[in-house]
Amino acid sequence: MTAKEIETIEKTAVFVRQSLSKAEGGHDWWHACRVWKTATRLAGEENADPFVVQLGALLHDIADAKFHDGDETLGPGIARDFLQKQGVDEKVVDHVVKIIKNISFKNSFEGPGFQSKELDVVGDADRLDALGAIGIARTFNYGGHKGFALYDPDIPPQKHRSKEDYKKSSAPTLNHFYEKLFLLKDRMKTRTGKKLAEARHRFMEAYIGQFLEEWEGRK
């Protein structure tokens, strides 16, 4: 990367940190920062463009629609304005905006949209942050933020068939493991991403096993 590109990455990190200073704990600057780190690692192995990957990772949740009345144009718009102000090449801006528009799990119900190596890398890094010890913490934090129950044996997990269905769910937090998190390991795109996802998946399975045993007073 050029010195100018490195400077742009640094400015983007500062901008994201400020913008997400009041965000919910699972979608805050530290989520962006972890995705940035993991994406940078995966980019090297996948031969993806490091500049596009790092900008995409940093900006991917700059204005998540679920915290902005469902407005899915806000995040891509903020990212585009910011990058244009930094004088970033228009081709790079377009690619980063496409990554932000296409990364979301909820949009996967509508079939594959834009595809690129860089989207695969940022997407895998984002999915990995939904898994493992951090994934568990984020999920219960989100459930608490929304006021969901931890678990309710009378409300079984649903197989969501559409984006609308998925978005309006207010089911107990434990159901989210079956409705989304346990599906992620089979959606990984990169080699290292798959390997890490499998280990994090096993950790979550063990955790949920213990949770359900404790629920029944058995362990």
Positions touching ligand ADP (CB under 6 A) are 26, 66, 104-106, 130, 135, 138-139, 142-143, 169, 173, 176
What is the C-alpha to C-alpha distance for residues 171 and 213, in angstroms, rounded to an integer? 20
d(CA 58, CA 186): 24
The sign of the torsion formed by the CA atoms of 5, 80, 19, 125 equals: negative
The site partner of 54 among ligand ADP, Ni ion, none (C-beta below 5 to 8 Å per kind) is none
Is the CB of residue 45 less than 8 Å from the CB of residue 192?
yes
Structure tokens at 114: 């834009």
182 alpha carbon, distance to own chain's centre: 14
CB–CB of 185/207 below 8 Å? Answer: no
124 versus 126: smaller Cβ distance to Ni ion:
126
CB of 66 to ligand ADP, least distance (A): 6
Nearer to ligand ADP by C-beta: 34 or 66? 66
Q: Which does 123 bind (CB under 5 to 8 A by kind): ligand ADP, Ni ion, none?
A: none
Minimum distance between the CB of residue 143 and ligand ADP, rounded to whole angstroms? 4
Residues 6+ apart with CB under 8 A from 183: none
105 contact choice in ligand ADP, Ni ion, none (CB below 5 to 8 Å, kind-dependent): ligand ADP
124 binds Ni ion (CB under 5 A): no
Mask: binding to Ni ion, 54-73, rule CB under 5 A, as x and -? -------x------------
Smallest distance, ligand ADP to C-beta of residue 88, A: 24
Binding partner of 37, given Ni ion, ligand ADP, none, CB within 5-8 angstroms per partner class: none
96-99 long-range Cβ contacts below 8 angstroms, 24+ apart: 96/52, 96/55, 96/56, 96/59, 99/52, 99/56, 99/60
CA gap 211, 48 in Å, rounded: 39
Residues 79-108 that bind Ni ion (CB under 5 A): none
Q: Does 28 bind Ni ion (CB under 5 A)?
A: no
Indicate whether 46 belongs to the interface with Ni ion (CB under 5 A): no
Residues that bind Ni ion (CB under 5 A): 61, 126
